[in-house]
């Protein structure tokens, strides 16, 4: 067994409990005071951070190394990359995760059945990676920004592949004019070391970033650039680890700058996990302007005296309405929808029966 420093002791209901904490090591993988406080309410197990999630197995990082572990069947929520967990070894020496530490935040989406799927947890910054080539799609980006807003994660827009197209400047300018100025937009060449310098404000020690975007936009390339794949940085995944599961799982890597970066596989469908308030928050530029519309219930459509139409990018406004419709639809759970459908079936049947009874 490796030597560990028994560095953390806490007083909990008059008993001093000691969890095996190697603070310096855990700091390397993003331990903060807030997380330490949440770890400390538990009195059993060894803390680690989830570095990757495979179908039925986890890869944990204890600040020094990565190792496989299994989620205990008793866990009601499956850990996601970035989660902090507590594990114990069984008699066979296998690591079993028995406790999921309450996350500070989490990014999630809804799958086709409306079930919530956690993508990453305990994230400071989401890098939304979009190509300036055929991938360029401001509406999709606004959808991502809404997810970030609802999860309380600060967003950074990262535009790649500008070197491959002629209209990169025009597209970047268009996006800058469309999005609220508070959202940082960074243009990078994902393979070049300069990308790491441009993203340095968000990659300092103790920070956790997640890379999100469609397949092929350069997330893995950017991860390699940020982690300085060739530099020997402590717990960086070994060369032979990569490529086995990277396209089907989310995994945590250590940046040269000290941050943890979570690479995710390209997301094909992205049903945001949010409600009307989240949409309104993500489009707060529209909300702010709407205060000056003549009618308080202005739909910013054809109403006279509208302060939004003309001031906000027309497609952004359309996307805002589209996302509002979507979250209202999603708010009806599958059961609600079934109930709704059967209600209509009954009403239709009654209407048919009435029509038949009226026939001579
Ligand atoms: N010219 C150019 N090529 C890039 C840039 N970013 C990424 N690429 C290339 O695009 C291809 C796909 O990049 P990846 O990093 O694998 O994309 P990904 O987003 O991780 O894709 P998934 O893992 O499928 O989600 C690679 O061949 C990269 O070299 C860029 O800024 N400029
Ligand atoms: Zn209006």
Fold (topology level) of 9-100? OB fold (Dihydrolipoamide Acetyltransferase, E2P) (2.40.50)
Q: Which helix (H) or strand (E) holds 18?
A: strand 15-18
Residue 163 labelled as part of a binding site = yes
State yes or no: pLDDT of 16 exceeds 80: no
How far is the C-alpha of 203 from the C-alpha of 125, rounded, in Å? Answer: 9
Span of 2-6, 286-290, 304-308, 354-358 with lowest mean pLDDT = 2-6
**Which CATH superfamily does the domain covering 106-263 fall into?**
P-loop containing nucleotide triphosphate hydrolases (3.40.50.300)
Question: Would you place residue 359 in the very low, low, confident or very high pLDDT band (cuts 50, 70, 90)?
Answer: low
- pLDDT at res. 12: 43
- pLDDT at res. 253: 87
Contact 190 CB / ligand 1 (< 6 Å): yes
**pLDDT tens track for 157-188:** 999 999 999 999 999 999 999 999 999 999 99
Average pLDDT of every residue of the chain: 83
**pLDDT tens track for 87-128:** 999 999 999 999 999 999 998 887 777 777 888 999 999 999
The single residue listed with the structure tokens 């992205």 is 270
Span of 10-14, 89-93, 94-98, 309-313 with lowest mean pLDDT = 10-14
Q: Around ion ligand 2, which residues have CB less than 5 A away? A: 293, 298, 300, 306, 308
Question: Comparing C-alpha atoms, which of 42, 79, 77, 31 is closest to residue 59?
Answer: 79
**pLDDT tens track for 185-235:** 999 998 888 999 999 999 998 999 999 998 889 998 899 899 876 433 233
Q: Whose CA is nearest to atom 12 of ligand 1?
A: 216
- Phi/psi class of residue 227: alpha, beta or left (left: φ > 0; alpha: ψ in -120 to 50)? alpha
Contact 189 CB / ligand 1 (< 6 Å): yes
The domain limits of the chain are 9-100, 106-263, 271-331
Contact 266 CB / ligand 1 (< 6 Å): yes
CA-based torsion, 73, 78, 81, 82: positive or negative? negative
CA of 129 from ligand 1 middle (Å) equals 10
Residue 213 labelled as part of a binding site = yes
At CA 113, angle to CA 112 and CA 116, rounded to 5?
A: 90
- pLDDT at res. 13: 45
Q: Whose CA is nearest to atom 2 of ligand 1?
A: 161
How far is the C-alpha of 39 from the C-alpha of 26, rounded, in Å? Answer: 12
Residue 298 labelled as part of a binding site = yes
Q: Residue 294: nearest ligand to its CA? A: 2
User: What interface predicted TM-score (ipTM) does this complex get?
Assistant: 0.93
Residue 215 labelled as part of a binding site = yes
Class of domain 271-331: mainly alpha
- pLDDT at res. 240: 36
User: Taking residues 339-356, what's their average pLDDT?
Assistant: 62
């Amino acid at each position: 067994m490796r030597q560990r420093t028994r560095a953390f002791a806490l007083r909990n209901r008059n008993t001093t409990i000691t969890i095996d904490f190697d603070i310096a090591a855990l700091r390397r993988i993003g331990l903060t005071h807030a997380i330490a406080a949440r770890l400390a309410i538990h009195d059993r197990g060894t803390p680690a951070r989830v570095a990757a999630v495979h179908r039925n197995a986890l890869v944990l990082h204890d600040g020094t190394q990565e190792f496989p572990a299994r989620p205990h069947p008793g866990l009601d929520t499956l850990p996601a990359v970035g989660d902090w967990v507590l594990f114990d070894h069984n008699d066979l020496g296998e690591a079993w995760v028995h406790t999921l530490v309450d996350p500070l935040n989490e990014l999630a989406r809804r799958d086709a059945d409306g079930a919530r799927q956690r993508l990453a947890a305990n994230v400071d910054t989401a890098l939304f990676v979009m190509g300036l080539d055929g991938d360029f799609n401001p509406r999709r980006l606004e959808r991502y920004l809404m997810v970030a807003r609802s999860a309380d994660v600060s967003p950074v827009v990262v535009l790649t592949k500008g070197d491959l197209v002629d209209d990169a400047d025009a597209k970047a300018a268009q996006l800058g004019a469309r999005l609220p100025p508070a959202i940082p937009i960074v243009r990078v060449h994902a393979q070049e070391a300069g990308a790491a310098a441009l993203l340095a404000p968000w990659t300092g020690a103790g920070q956790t970033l997640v890379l999100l975007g469609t397949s092929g936009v350069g997330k893995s390339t950017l991860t390699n650039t940020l982690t300085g794949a060739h530099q020997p940085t402590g717990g960086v995944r070994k060369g032979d680890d990569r490529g086995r599961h990277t396209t089907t799982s989310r995994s945590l890597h250590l940046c040269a700058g000290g941050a943890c970066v979570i690479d995710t596989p390209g997301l094909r469908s992205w049903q945001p996990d949010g409600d009307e308030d989240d949409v309104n928050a993500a489009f707060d530029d529209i909300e702010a302007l709407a205060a000056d519309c003549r009618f308080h219930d202005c739909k910013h459509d054809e109403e006279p005296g509208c302060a939004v139409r003309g001031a906000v990018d027309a497609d952004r406004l359309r996307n805002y309405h589209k996302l509002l419709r979507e979250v209202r639809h999603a708010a009806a759970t599958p059961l609600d929808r079934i109930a709704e459908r059967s209600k209509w079936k009954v009403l239709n049947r009654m209407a048919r029966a009435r029509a038949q009874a009226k026939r001579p």
